[in-house]
Amino acid sequence: MLFSAGIVKGAQALLTKQVIWVGLSLLMGAYATYMNLEWIRRRAWWIFGLCMLGLILTLVPGIGIKVNGAQRWIGLGPLRVQPSEFAKIGLVLVLASYFSSNHRENKTFFHGFLIPSILIGTCCGLILLQPDFGTSFLCGAVAATMMFQAGTSLRWLLPVAGLAITAFSILVYFDPVRIRRVTSFLDVEANANDSAYQLWQGMLAFGVGGLNGVGLGMGRQQVHFLPEAHTDFIFPVIGEELGLFFTLTIVACFLLLFGCVFLRLRQSPRLFEYLLAMGAILFVSLQAIINMGVVTGSMPTKGMSLPFISYGGSNLMVSFLLLGFVINVLRSLDTPKVLLPREI
């Protein structure tokens, strides 16, 4: 599918790179599956600090790489790494570690709300400076859900969420590029040859594919019309070539993955493991929902990869690491253990 979607961009080169990334990601995911969770819990703050350092380095001239007006990457020889992807892991780990270590005070304003909010604000603020509104929103949404699950009161979460949404809306309103994305999303057909061109072509791809698709490798939208078909808009390529039934199967897989993990986590006796797995599966599932919502015209256009499917090394590796943590936690539920005094 990636070969077909990236045919205009040099499919052979893309496929070769992605195969390498898949191999590395599978190894990292397998390692996360058997990693000692207590070991990683004790190092969560260091991991978070390294992730924040990576975000800062993207803003340093000569180190950060600017593409299409956004400075989100760091060059490591022939590779480009996106620190905002790895910041997802750092954020989940530090919040899970913090709340599990202070669980008796999670309902207080200072320990249960203020300190976690500072951590979240630091992460989201650095991502906004790149700028990357989508990833910042995703991190904020997942982190707020983790806070609520840890016991933070809604009387603090809801007002701050309202303020964050208001501030976010103001930033979008005064950004010409992003306000055009919103207005074009509201009337796609009227902007089909302008700001909504990519979205319109993606929707046409779904229409051409119909129920059964035109056949694997037979799609034409990505060849002549659909930009970034191998990254953010790979889902319409799947819809064109394999049809509605296959795209609905992908949607069902993500929903089933989240549902099964959520139900299984209700048996988790340890707060750290529960929050770690919950944050990890939320990042994967919510990102998939946003991507599919964008390319189907249900949400304003935002560049966000489809986990496990889109081209891109950083997102692929992080997705497998997050899934590895989830599997690790689920495996540990069947292993008897003695709880530490602060976790009882």
> Does a structural domain hold residue 10?
yes
> Does a structural domain hold residue 76?
no
Confidence of residue 1 (pLDDT cuts 50, 70, 90): low
Residue 284 has pLDDT above 90, yes or no: yes
Helix (H, G, I), strand (E, B) or coil at 12: helix
CA atoms of 284 and 50, how far apart (whole Å): 22
Residue 340 has pLDDT above 80, yes or no: no
Residue 98 has pLDDT above 90, yes or no: yes
> Does a structural domain hold residue 129?
no
> Does a structural domain hold residue 213?
yes
> Does a structural domain hold residue 306?
yes
Residue 189 has pLDDT above 80, yes or no: no
**How large is the average pLDDT for residues 158-176?**
84
Cβ–Cβ contacts within 10 Å for residue 110, how many? 9
**How large is the average pLDDT for residues 121-130?**
93
**How large is the average pLDDT for residues 172-178?**
76
> Does a structural domain hold residue 131?
no
pLDDT of residue 285: 95
Distances, alpha carbon 65 to alpha carbons 80, 128, 148, 197, in Å: 8, 16, 36, 26
Enter the pTM of the model: 0.88
Supply the mean pLDDT for the chain.
85
Helix (H, G, I), strand (E, B) or coil at 63: coil
Q: Looking at the 3D structure of the chain, how many domains does it have?
A: 1
> Does a structural domain hold residue 259?
yes
Domain that holds residue 12: 1-34+191-335
pLDDT tens-digit series, residues 240-277: 889 899 999 999 999 999 999 999 998 888 899 999 99
Long-range contact pairs involving 37-41 (C-beta distance under 8 Å, separation at least 24): 37/272, 37/273, 37/276, 37/328, 37/329, 37/332, 40/93, 41/93, 41/96, 41/97, 41/100, 41/272
